[in-house]
Amino acid sequence: MSATLSGPVEEPLREDQTEHAQQALAGLEDLLARIGDRDLVELHSSEDPAESLQVPAPALRLFRDVLAQLSAGHAVQILPIHAELTTQQAAELLNVSRPHVVKLVEDGTLPARRVGTHRRIRVQDVMDYRRRDDQRRRGVLDDLAEEAEELGLE
């Protein structure tokens, strides 16, 4: 997929909008379950069945992710994977401080390039870092759980 989601970045939805998003999410989940592995989905208008629109399945899955965030009351932002972020934007996406992101860039953990005196970080690199960090954290939690079990601290 060529985009990623982050949220919340703008004003959250009103309660009635959140409810509509939840209903739409449920309907889209049903549709995605029925289409299985198809690459293309043909949608028909309820008012005029002759009117149709072919939509790539990955676009519907992305829309499902958008609806999931909206139904949780979050606003979303869709960014192309090739987009570049400032250190502040990367920090917001990772939910860490800007100085922490600068440190990650300076120690080579997070690739970046310089534009004048400013750093730019690709969205893909931020998402890859987040995935690696999440995996590392899960590993640490698994190790702690295993150690607690061995010590009888369940």
Which residue spans of the chain are classified as CATH 1.10.1660? 84-150
Q: Which of 6, 10, 2 is nearest to 69 (CA)?
A: 6
Residues 23-59 have pLDDT tens digits of: 999 999 999 999 888 889 888 888 888 899 999 999 9
What distance in Å separates the CA atoms of residue 88 and residue 102, rounded to the nearest whole number? 9
What distance in Å separates the CA atoms of residue 105 and residue 56, rounded to the nearest whole number? 36
Q: What percent of the chain has pLDDT over 90?
A: 58
pTM assigned to the model: 0.60
Cα–Cα distances in angstroms (integers) from residue 80 to residues 5, 41, 85, 110, 120, in the given order = 9, 23, 11, 18, 14
Q: Could you tell me whether strands 77-80 and 40-44 are parallel, antiparallel, or unpaired per DSSP bridges? A: unpaired
Total count of residues recorded for the chain:
154
The class (CATH top level) of 84-150 is mainly alpha
Residues 13-24 have pLDDT tens digits of: 788 888 889 999
